[in-house]
Amino acid sequence: MGTTMRYAMVCSSNQNRSMEAHALLKRQGFDVSSYGTGAHVKLPGPSLREPNVYDFGTPYKFMHDELRRKDPDLYKRNGILPMLKRNLGVKNAPQRWQDNAADGCFDVVMTFEEKVFDTVIEDLNNREQKMIRSVLIINLEVKDNHEEAATGAKLALDLCQDMSEERHRHHHLFHHHQEEKPSDEVAYSETAYNPSGDDYASGYTKTADNPSGDDYASGYTETAVAESASDDYESYEKEEKHHKHKEHLGEMGALAAGAFALYEKHEAKKDPEHAHKHKIEEEIAAAVAVGSGGYAFHEHHEKKDAEKEAEEASGQKHHHRLF
């Protein structure tokens, strides 16, 4: 289980809120991408009825240079030119969430508006399910202005750092426990080789399953045992995948609950009047996080047991096919 997590920051136009968070997380060394969910990229214009509209994929530099030619004073005063300059230092152009399938899977997706959150959920539900993987999607309601975007980005960073530390703790715990486990002894059987040099005696079923040495009976027994080992291997392999999926769900639950606990802690500072309520919710979320972490830990070891049994079944299957 690796410790590196992939993050996606998503807003409407991939200009302000998602890019503020992307820039901050990137400076802190996170594996982060950012997207927008709108049909087009929209930037404020001279009036509400005259926005500047671009297609996703239009370079930030092109937008910056065009708006600087149109009205440098206006777009500098409203913060658009500094924002675009910041953006082009992070990546080339705005990207659309709905077109990001080639970018791979993300562990955590953060949206900054409920409408964007709903769009991401709907899009994921409509995609072809090639990989059954869990993803944690968190919405932070952030107003689309430069000041709120900066505040939202800091909160996103706090949440991501907390989740990263939680994942690291789980990884360290599993790794430490694995080191303490005694190595399994390897047993060798004389039926795996033939010191006598008798070709017929090298058949496993003659020495173990068919003392009579009858060719027909020997072939039948060997095939039946091999098929049984194959069935066992497939069964254990399915069980291993099942526990792996449950382990991932437990991890995501722990991360989600931890993130919510951190969010409530932040809200308690912002909203002193209801600090007690936020404190209670923080403690409940923390307890859920601990429980989810324990569940993930349990499923991790269940997965390891299934993996070991699958390997043993696979060894049995290969052993029979040698003869």
Q: Which of 31-45, 192-206, 218-232 has the highest mean pLDDT?
A: 31-45
- pLDDT tens-place string over residues 226-262: 445 556 656 666 666 666 666 666 666 666 666 666 6
Sequence-separated (6 or more) residues with CB below 8 Å from residue 185: none
Residue predicted with more confidence, 132 or 110: 110
Whether 296 is in a domain gets the answer yes
Q: Which of 64-68, 188-192, 272-276 has the highest mean pLDDT?
A: 64-68
What are the b/e assignments for 183-222, b being 16+ CB within 10 Å? Answer: eeeeeeeebeeeeeeeeeebbbbbeebbeeeeeeebeebb
Identify the weakest region by mean pLDDT among 130-144, 160-174, 224-238: 224-238
155 and 21 both lie in a single domain: yes
Average pLDDT on 264-282 reads 69
Answer whether residue 142 shows pLDDT above 70: yes
User: Does position 117 have pLDDT exceeding 90, yes or no?
Assistant: yes
Residues 129 and 214 in one domain: no
- Region of residue 79 (phi > 0: left; psi between -120 and 50: alpha; otherwise: beta): left
Indicate whether 194 and 157 sit together in one domain: no
Nearest to 309 by CA among 248, 243, 246: 243
Task: Establish if 223 belongs to a structural domain.
Answer: yes
Residue ending a domain, among 163, 178, 204, is 163
pLDDT of residue 214: 46
Mean pLDDT computed over 124-135: 82
Does the residue 173 lie in any domain?
no
Better pLDDT: 246 or 188: 246
Residue 199's pLDDT is 40
* 78: containing domain: 6-163
Residue 6: its H or E element? strand 6-11
Say which CATH number the domain at 144 has.
Answer: 3.40.50.2300
In the chain, the number of structural domains is: 2
Asked if 159 and 197 sit in the same domain, the reply is no
Q: Is residue 209 domain-resident?
A: yes
Burial of 132 (C-beta count, 10 Å sphere; 0-12/13-18/19+): exposed
What does the pLDDT read at residue 232? 61
Check residue 321 and give its pLDDT: 40
Query: What is this structure's pTM?
Result: 0.59
Judge whether residue 34 has pLDDT over 60: yes
